[in-house]
Each structure stands twice: as structure tokens, then as C-alpha cells.
Amino acid sequence: MKNKYGHIRIADYSYDLPMDRIARYPLPERDTSKLLVWDGNSISDRVFREFPSLAGRDSLLVFNNTRVIRARLIFHKESGAAIEVFCLEPHHPGEFSINLSSGGPVEWKCLIGNLKRWKDGLLESRFTHADREYRLTAERTGREGDSFIVRFNWDNGSLSFAQVLEDMGHMPIPPYLGRADEESDRSAYQTTYARINGSVAAPTAGLHFTPAVMEALERAGIQRAEVTLHVSAGTFRPVKSELIVDHMMHSEHFYVSKATLERLRDSKITAVGTTTVRTLESLYWLGLSSSDGRWPGNGIPSVSQWEPYERNTNTAPSAAIDFLLAQMKRDRKDVLEAKTDIIIVPGYRFRMVQGILTNFHQPHSTLLLLVAAFTGDSWKKIYDHALGSGYRFLSYGDSMLLCPSGS
């Protein structure tokens, strides 16, 4: 089954996106953005602040509460050359919360800009915290694929690495915005409900929510739940291979509490963002892994890129969740930590998600493939409508609510 879906041509999932349709800045008021609504047949144009009246009262809205860290660190050599170190994910300690709360030293998998100017040795930079100056050093200690292992150390053990990033780092806004990050991005490129540090890219569907919209959801009796998936830089990377089978999907960590799993079991779910979709659908396959006895004795359970296409199963989603709950009981854990490499392409059968709120995605991207998997050929009609109706695209752009009436 892998070959059947792996031979999808990425060229068939593209469209012309004029540069002037990419939103380089968010609107001053998040909830005044446009909202395209697709019900499985027709399309309507709304405003995002109407979302509480459009979300089904019988739906459970699931949000990704991850918080974007200031993951881009700029160092300067004595020659004046600038070296950018982009922190992707923790290497040692490998757990996000432990690494970010550490007083140092810590190691991260990183991308390095202007690598040719950093042959070896230490990079050093100064940063200020509470009106005092401190020193941060970076040292390359290894390599993994196209990323490098970098050890960071600083001269104040009472400061956590999360605080060092907060004081010295830059917001990792997408490169397609064509500008440097600005002070306004510190709040604009962050959801209002972000709580758990770890992402190097924002779960952008959530950027439209304001306290007023959240209060309106509460008044309307719309149920909400949260998961945590730390978004990696690979989420927004265009597919460069001709066939999707040749694209290596990125891996992302996620966390789901026992209480949330229990709520997911019998709910009609609308996922806020593709990162939430990825988390929820991965839960189904993890449940099957547990039932098959493929749960790791030590280490973190994971879902591989093509696993959903290699298995033929009609197991109910509620049963998959029950398998997970039983596994957590055996492991005496209240929070499930896992990793997913899952790729969702046309032909995928959604198990957990009945509705999706998401932004408009780049051509040649796995996120566009996910939308096409959910909407079928209607993705073309949806994107043509958005292009012809003045919608703003990508991270700071407008959004769409995909809610087939038969779901």
C-alpha cells in the first residue's frame, strides 16, 4: 500500500501563489481575518470572529498549546562574520521541559547559517538579563543528518536555557515572509493560549483566536481540549522530490494527558491546525501498536511515516483510545509522550478528526497534501476561491474551516 500512495506526484498539488498574497504581517486585530467555510459542497466567506457560531455545539475543539521559543541565536566572530544557530530540538537532555529548565550546559540539534565561517572552536555572545551582562558559548560536538549537535553553556547557572533564549534569541518567523523578525512578532507569532515551551514554528491556525473569541466559545457551550505538539521547522518545508515516496517526513514530539484521551474517546472532533490533526491521527496508530504488543519497553513510542498505509484495519477509534488508556495504566503514567513521523496524503482515511480549522498552505507542501487528503479534489476549488476573493495566505494570513456536513 505504501507504493500506491508514495507515488503521488507533488506537482499535482501546487498552485500559483503571487508574492503579494503572502501576508507579511498579521492584521492588527486577529479575529478580523477572513474565514472561508467549506461544508463538503459549498463555500462561504465569513469573518473569524464568527467562528464560535460556526463551530458545532456537539464538537470538541482540540487546540495545540505549544509555545514558540526564540530559537534563532546570532553569534559574531572576531572577523565580524555573523553565524546563525537555529535550535531545532533538544539532544541532551532529550526531554524538552528538562532541557529548557536546565541551568546548563545543554545540547541541541541545530541548523547553522554561514557554516563555512565556523570551522571549529567556540562561538561567544553576550546577553543581558535583569540589567546584568552574561556570556553564552556555542560549540559543535557532532552531526546528525543535515543538522549539527551544538553544546551551549552560559555563566549563570540560575538562569534556565529557556530564559537564555528569551533574552538573546530571535523569533523563528518563516523565511518566506522576506524580513527579519521584529519586536511585534514576539506576541504576534504566538497563540494567546500558548503554554508549553518547545516549538520552533507557530501552530498558525491558532493565531486567529483572541480572548474575546475564546469567551464566545465558552458562552456558546463549545467544549475545548488541549494537546501539545512541538512544531518543528520541517512542518513548513516544501517537498522537493518529484514523488512523495522520496520525501523524508520530519519527526515531532507530542504529549497528551489521560484526561484528554478520555474526552477524545467518544467526541466529534474539530482540530485547530494541522499539527493538532497530526497528533490526533497518530494517537489512533499508537493505540494499535499497543494492542499488537509493539509498545517499546524503554524509550518513546512513535508512529513511522508510512505506517498507516501499511496496515489494513477497521478498529474503531474508541477502541484505539481504550488501548492507549490501558497502556498508560500499565505504565502508571498520566501523560502520554510520543513521537510521530506520520505523513497524511490523499488516500488516507481519517479516524479521529471530523473537522479542521487551518490556514492556507504553501504549494508543494505536506500541509497542502493533508488538506487534499481531507477535502479530495475540492482543495483546488477552495484555493481558487481564496485566490479570487482576496484571502491572505500562509502563517499570518487568513484561515478556512473544513467541516463536511456528513462528518
Domain that holds residue 143: 71-170
Q: Are residues 197 and 298 in the same domain?
A: yes
Q: Are residues 96 and 61 in the same domain?
A: no
Contact, 110 vs 88, CB < 8 A?
yes
Kindly state whether residue 179 falls inside one of the protein's structural domains. no
Q: 208-219: per-residue pLDDT in tens?
A: 999 999 999 999
Bridge pairing between strands 335-340 and 355-359: unpaired
Kindly state whether residue 183 falls inside one of the protein's structural domains. no
pLDDT(1) > 50: no
Report the Cα–Cα distance between both ends of the chain, in Å, rounded: 25
Kindly state whether residue 180 falls inside one of the protein's structural domains. no
Q: 88-101: per-residue pLDDT in tens?
A: 999 999 999 999 99
Q: What pLDDT score was predicted for residue 78? A: 82
Of 76-80, 164-168, 220-224, least confident by mean pLDDT is 76-80
pLDDT(49) > 50: yes
Number of domains in the chain: 2
Confidence of residue 236 (pLDDT cuts 50, 70, 90): low
Q: Are residues 97 and 198 in the same domain?
A: no
Q: Are residues 62 and 93 in the same domain?
A: no
Q: Are residues 276 and 246 in the same domain?
A: yes
Q: How far apart are CA 365 and CA 388, in angstroms?
A: 21
Output the domain CATH number for residue 253: 3.40.1780.10
Sign for the CA dihedral angle at 258, 331, 304, 266 comes to: negative
pLDDT, mean of residues 223-227: 97
Q: 53-74: per-residue pLDDT in tens?
A: 999 888 999 999 999 999 999 9
Kindly state whether residue 407 falls inside one of the protein's structural domains. no
Q: What pLDDT score was predicted for residue 40? A: 96
Number of residues that this document lists for the chain:
407
Count other C-beta atoms under 10 Å from residue 251's C-beta. Answer: 16
Cell representation of residue 33: 481575518
Bridge pairing between strands 252-257 and 335-340: antiparallel
Q: How far apart are CA 51 and CA 95, in angstroms?
A: 35
- Listing DSSP states for 138-158 in one string gives EEEEEEETTEEEEEEEES-TT
Q: Which residues have a Cβ under 8 Å from the Cβ of 298 and sit 6 or more positions away?
A: none
Q: 240-251: per-residue pLDDT in tens?
A: 899 999 998 888
Q: 382-403: per-residue pLDDT in tens?
A: 999 999 999 999 999 999 999 9
Q: Are residues 96 and 132 in the same domain?
A: yes
Bridge pairing between strands 268-272 and 59-64: parallel
pLDDT(6) > 80: no
Give the residue from 227, 238, 277, 273 showing the smallest Cα distance to 399: 273
Q: Which of 170, 205, 236 is the last residue of a domain?
A: 170
Count other C-beta atoms under 10 Å from residue 387's C-beta. Answer: 16
Kindly state whether residue 219 falls inside one of the protein's structural domains. yes
* For residue 317, cis peptide bond before it (omega within 30 degrees of 0): no
Confidence of residue 237 (pLDDT cuts 50, 70, 90): confident
Kindly state whether residue 124 falls inside one of the protein's structural domains. yes
pLDDT(104) > 80: yes
Q: What pLDDT score was predicted for residue 89? A: 93
Q: 162-174: per-residue pLDDT in tens?
A: 999 999 999 999 9
- Considering the chain, what percentage of its residues have pLDDT values greater than 90? 89
Count other C-beta atoms under 10 Å from residue 133's C-beta. Answer: 9
Kindly state whether residue 182 falls inside one of the protein's structural domains. no
Confidence of residue 297 (pLDDT cuts 50, 70, 90): confident
pLDDT(196) > 80: yes
Give the mean pLDDT of the chain: 94
Kindly state whether residue 372 falls inside one of the protein's structural domains. yes
pLDDT, mean of residues 135-148: 93
Q: What pLDDT score was predicted for residue 406? A: 55
